[in-house]
Amino acid sequence: MASDPYRHRRQQMVRKQIEARGVGDPRVLRVMGEVPRHLFVREHLHPQAYGDFALPIECGQTISQPYVVARMTELLDVSSEHSVLEIGTGSGYQTLVLARLGGRVFSLERIAELARRAIERLRPFELDNVKIQAFDGTFGWSDVGPFDRILVTAAAPHVPPPLIDQLKEGGKLVVPEGGRDGQRLILYEKTAEGLGQSTGEAVSFVPLIGRHGWAEVEDG
């Protein structure tokens, strides 16, 4: 972008919120310092875009806290050779972060209006390695899989089985897993011996709605 009045705030965000909490991957820090988060929220929220909190976006969804975006991206360990599947396009902010690091990014968003808006927001960046589609992300995207990396950006009661099936051997998958009111970041790694996992910090995401996630409305 030609003019960026939020550059200083973004650098402060990286130093005080992200690097200070232990995110050390220089590639992630660089990209978080480059991507203009304010362009992915409503205009009246631009002054708050680099704060240490999530923000509301359209359709009752949210854009995640900057630290959480950076931490999940670091855990995913994306390189330019990787094919990445993102479940939950949302505003498109995390999509752009992944696109700056990965080879090809395929992003699924169940809410068609959000998918449309994300495509519009990303258009000025002239990306040639991103494809967004409106679909139930809990099914994955078998037509273009398998994937080296999979990132789930909504809270799942458990990792959707189709996503494990579409993860390559040697691949990594990051998902906030748990109840509707709170989750832990889980890193899955697929090897010839099976599926390993490690548990990270507590987080709070909107629920992953879909066939292999949460129902739209809870019973009762």
Angle at 104 between CA 60 and CA 22, to 5 degrees: 65
DSSP-H helix ranges across 77-189: 93-101, 112-122, 161-165
At 89 the three-state DSSP class reads coil
Angle at 149 between CA 145 and CA 154, to 5 degrees: 100
Catalytic residue, chosen from 3, 64, 80, 83, is 64
Q: With contact defined as beta carbons under 8 Å apart, do 56 and 112 qualify?
A: no
Distance CA 197, CA 177 (A): 12
The shares of helix, strand and coil residues in the chain, as percent rounded to the nearest 5, are 35, 30, 35
Angle at 83 between CA 85 and CA 119, to 5 degrees: 55
Does residue 64 carry a catalytic annotation?
Answer: yes
Q: Which residues are catalytic?
A: 64
